[in-house]
Amino acid sequence: MQSREIRSKFIEFFESKKHKFVPSAPMVLKSDPTLMFTNAGMNQFKDLFLGNATADYTRAVNSQKCLRVSGKHNDLEEVGIDTYHHTMFEMLGNWSFGDYFKKEAIQWAWELLTEVYGLEKDRLYVTVFEGDKKDNLAFDQDAFDYWKEFIDESRILNGDKKDNFWEMGDTGPCGPCSELHIDLRSEEERAKISGKDLVNQDHPQVIEVWNLVFMQYDRKSNGQLDNLPAQHIDTGMGFERLAMALQGKLSNYDTDVFMPLINAVAKKASVEYGKEEDIDIAIRVIVDHIRAISFAIADDQLPSNNKAGYVIRRILRRAVRYGYTFLNLNEPFLHELVPVLAEQYKGFFDELESQKDLIAKVIKEEEASFLRTLENGLKRLDQIKDRLKKSGETTIAGEEVFELYDTFGFPLDLTALIARENNLSIDEAGFDKAMSVQKNRSKADAVSEKGDWISIDDEASVEFVGYDEVETETSIIKYREIKEAKRTVYQVVLAKTPFYGESGGQIGDTGLLTNDNETIKVIDTKKENDLIVHFTDKLPADPSASFKAVINGNRRTLIKGNHSATHLLHAALRDVLGTHVQQKGSLVSDQVLRFDFSHFSKVEEEQIVEIERIVNDRIRQNILLDERRSVPIDEAKTLGAMALFGEKYGDFVRVITFDADYSVELCGGTHVNATGDIGLFKIVSEGAVAAGIRRIEAYTGPKAFEHVQAQDKALSEVKEILKNPKDLAKAINGLMDDQKRLSKIIETLYAKQAGVLKQGLLGDVQAKDGFNTLIAKVLLPNADGLKKLAFELKNEVDNLLAILAADIDGKPQIAVVIAENLVADKGLNAGQMVRELAKEIKGGGGGQPFFATAGGKDLFGLDNVVSKATEMVDAL
């Protein structure tokens, strides 16, 4: 049975049981602050389990894109090594929200596996929760009794809290679960050892295939378990594992889910899969990781240096490194797999097909960037390994691990991986310390301590009235305290609110909660899934009292202008640049609008002018807002409404139209009543964010007018300085020509000066124990001159270790240059030395082992640099 049919049969089966098919949520989460990525099928339904939201269905089925690479659910280290763990995977699931419970979930699971899919009953085992004294939880007798109707008691096994009590995190919905395991071993192996003895023992052919979670508790921050408002079913079946079982394979990777990718990688590398373990592992890592990378980019998460973007960059670099080391792929290759992947998922996850060019371009640029540093980083690692071998040590020092991260872009887990392959370990604590000291990392992102919600009214639901009202009478449903690193804030949920919660790029509203007795500031508003949460500076003296909720109207007006201008800008970009333009992110605040979009080249100046003209024309036309709420999604698409990749839409949507022939978008944000309210639109910057992604920033209304006035004033000042020439451009070009001519003269003079300086320094070189040293304080005009001087000295003096403390136009800089043979033979490292010396000038820096530089703030510290450098050299 092919994988497409496997997926279809699952969905069709539960649709026949009156389940509603709900499309996969984006893999990259934007509305849940507790998670970076969707790591389980239930994530998008969390508010339904908690009772914070309602839906027009009580049963659901889907196949959810999931990613598990960090936190509690982390499978990264097993990926490729074994045959059944993955970073990105599909989770087939069926859900009940207060409808059916254990009996039906068990009955239908057995029916689907044995009757629809035809799995052999004597290969299946089930587990039930044995109970837990600490949580005062009893043995799951109900599940045991229901299973007895379908399977022999000898195949019903007890599972402890680790295996048979499912929790999404430290707090939140949870409950006992019942797992289904399948024994895929040969008859001969099964005769030797019973499958029941291998369940949950990490045997590659005795695996969990489905987990039925009986969601009935809410874990509080103090560990207490409270009953949820209703009992729910949450199941998750690994699509890739199911394919392995149904296709008679012994590895997930041998199925048609992965084989097209495996064949493509093997062909590219001119190797044969299944012949050599190291090569097989590398190929499995690559084909797993390309799925995670591609789906993340399709969901608008670009590789970057922080948060979710860094996770994707780590995965990508891990794949590149495996290809480089084991498959001799030293040129970008991952991007060539994107069309193969897109073809596999066409018809179900069409976001890959529609964005395959963009995804490939982003990946290719990331590959090329990492490959430029990978070779040098591996050489540096070889030097470290050789030093450890000579000394008999087995641990790579934390500072060296940090150097590989800071200089060569090696994520911590990549260095750890290479270390393990060489029977070494890394000093992770030392790395963390170096990261903290050298990068001076902010503690602002420290994990906050969240108290439990204190409920005032369990029956009330949240109503957003902010499209029509700026103030309303309301009451508090629940509240809690949040302790952060530097402050304590409070979160309040209102029964009725005009406050817009940050989402869709639009920032949250601020304002006040007032009554006759007190006034509370609302400092921000955010959406957590479907819950509107107000951040306040204090808690009300009487939480049960009524309040008037009033937003900051002036701020909201500016936000609305920027948001509506974003829609006009999007349409203008597609007019001028082409219909390939797609929104890839936005920020809408009261100060600025920022719009990221797919486009493969710089937006030229004349195109910027035309885009501005179109938007301002639409503003002057004073087009009335056409806002339609609760429009069926299919009807919205018929209207031509643009949906954004990476966003989750329900069955009913809100459609914002400014002229049906110009701008029609699905949007939940706030907008002006007519485009004339925007006033003026002015683009202030355009540039690249990543490969194939551009960013425009613009101002509207008063801010745009102030910007134009400031530009006009600056232009007048320039004209006055130049004595009001008739042709301003010609006058400025003349000045620039003069500047270039004079710069060449100055460069010639500096070159002569540098030559004299170099000759003097050559005379100061001192011999020491087989190498030559030079420590000097110098005066130079620019940083390029310092670098040039350092390399010229290195080329003219053998075995040189030179440390130059430079005054460059009143700013302190340090350069350390070391002969390559000293780096290799004596383990010297310019990067480490310069970072230590930089402390004397209150600065920092880095570089390669043979050359590194640092800058700072304290010019008077250069004498201390010379003294400290002398001590360092004397100690060698």
Q: Are 407 and 847 in contact (CB under 8 A)?
A: yes
- Calculate helix-pair angle for 412-421, 356-391, nearest 10 degrees: 50
Interval 796-824 mean pLDDT = 92
Look up residue 511 and give its two tokens.
């304002």
Which pLDDT score, from 0 to 100, does residue 646 have?
63
Say which residue, 82 or 60, is predicted with more confidence.
Answer: 60
Structure confidence at residue 62 (pLDDT):
94
At residue 444, does pLDDT exceed 50? no
Going by DSSP bridges, is the β-strand pair 425-426/395-396 parallel, antiparallel, or unpaired?
parallel
Look at residue 819 in the predicted model and tell me its pLDDT.
Answer: 92
Task: Tell me how far apart the alpha carbons of residues 267 and 260 are, in angstroms, rounded to a whole number.
Answer: 11
What's the whole-number mean pLDDT along residues 591-616?
95
CA-wise closest residue to 830 among 819, 841, 840: 819
Give the rounded percent of residues in the chain with a pLDDT score beyond 90.
Answer: 66
Q: Which two tokens stand for residue 412?
A: 């911590």
Q: What number is the average pLDDT over the span 626-644?
A: 89
Q: Report yes or no on whether pTM surpasses 0.85.
A: no
Helix, strand, or coil (residue 653): strand
pLDDT at 642: 84
Q: From its phi and psi, is residue 80 left (phi > 0), alpha (psi between -120 and 50) or beta?
A: left
- Region 341-360 average pLDDT: 93
Residue 645 has pLDDT above 70, yes or no: no
Angle at which helices 701-721 and 728-762 pack, to 10 degrees?
80
Mean pLDDT of 863-875: 92
Averaged pLDDT, 296-324: 89
How is residue 41 annotated by DSSP? Answer: T
* Measured distance CA(293)–CA(359) in Å, rounded: 9
User: Contact at 8 Å (CB) between 240 and 252?
Assistant: yes
Q: Taking the CA atoms of 265, 269, 271 and 276 in sequence, report the sign of the dihedral they define.
A: negative
- Residue-wise pLDDT for 664-674, tens only, equals 999 999 999 99
In angstroms, the CA 64 to CA 377 distance is 37
Q: 10 Å Cβ neighbour count for 807?
A: 14
- For residue 446, pLDDT over 70 is answered with no
pLDDT band at 816 (very low <50, low <70, confident <90, very high): very high
Neighbours of 391 (CB within 10 A): 9
* C-alpha triplet 417, 418, 424: angle, nearest 5°: 95
pLDDT of residue 196: 93
* 445, pLDDT greater than 50: no
Among the listed residues 425, 371, 377, 423, the one whose alpha carbon sits nearest the alpha carbon of residue 398: 425
Q: Give the start-end residues of each E strand in 39-120.
A: 59-67, 88-97
* Averaged pLDDT for residues 46-51: 76
Exposure string of 233-271, with b = 16+ CB inside 10 Å and e = fewer, is bbbbbbbbbbbbbbbebebbbbbebbeebbebbbebbeb
More confident position, 305 or 729:
729
Residue 685: half-sphere exposure toward Cβ, Cα within 13 Å: 10
- Taking only the tens place, the pLDDT of each residue in 744-791 is 887 777 677 777 888 889 989 999 888 899 999 998 878 888 888 999
The mean pLDDT of 290-319, rounded to a whole number, is 90
Q: Are 312 and 300 in contact (CB under 8 A)?
A: no
Residues 6+ apart with CB under 8 A from 141: none
Q: How confident is the model at residue 440 (pLDDT cuts 50, 70, 90)?
A: low
Residue type at 534 in one-letter notation: H
pLDDT in tens, 574-601: 999 999 999 998 999 999 999 999 998 9
Three-class SS state of 843: coil
| pLDDT band with cut points at 50, 70 and 90 for residue 353 | very high
Which two three-digit tokens encode residue 681?
């639109």
| 833 CB-side CA count, 13 A | 32
Cβ proximity of 478 and 454 under 8 Å: yes
Residue 473 burial (C-beta neighbours within 10 Å; 0-12, 13-18, 19+): exposed
Tokens 């998922």 belong to: 345
Q: What is the mean pLDDT of the chain?
A: 90
Nearest to 408 by CA among 848, 781, 11: 848
438 pLDDT above the threshold of 60: no
pLDDT at 441 > cutoff 50: no
Handedness of CA 101, 104, 109, 112 (dihedral sign): negative
CA distance 297 to 290: 11
Is the C-alpha dihedral spanning 13, 18, 21, 25 positive or negative? Answer: negative
Summarize the confidence of residues 684-695 as an average pLDDT. Answer: 91
Q: Nearest-5° angle of CA 186, CA 188, CA 194?
A: 85
With bands split at pLDDT 50, 70 and 90, how would you rate the model's confidence at 442? Answer: very low
pLDDT tens digits for range 187-196: 999 999 999 9
Contacts 24+ apart (CB under 8 A), 610-614: 610/576, 611/569, 611/572, 611/573, 611/576, 611/683, 612/681, 612/682, 612/683, 614/568, 614/571, 614/572, 614/575, 614/576
In sequence order, the 6+-apart residues with CB closer than 8 A to the CB of 391 are none
Predicted pLDDT of residue 399: 87
d(CA 511, CA 516): 17
Identify which of 826, 825, 828, 875 has the alpha carbon closest to the alpha carbon of residue 851: 828
Q: How confident is the model at residue 358 (pLDDT cuts 50, 70, 90)?
A: very high
Window from 62-71, 357-366, 527-536 with minimum mean pLDDT? 62-71
Q: Is pLDDT of 252 > 90?
A: yes
Highest mean pLDDT (candidates 103-112, 480-489, 728-737): 103-112
Q: What phi, psi does 196 have (nearest 5°)?
A: -65, -25
Q: Provide the 10 A C-beta neighbour count for residue 444.
A: 8
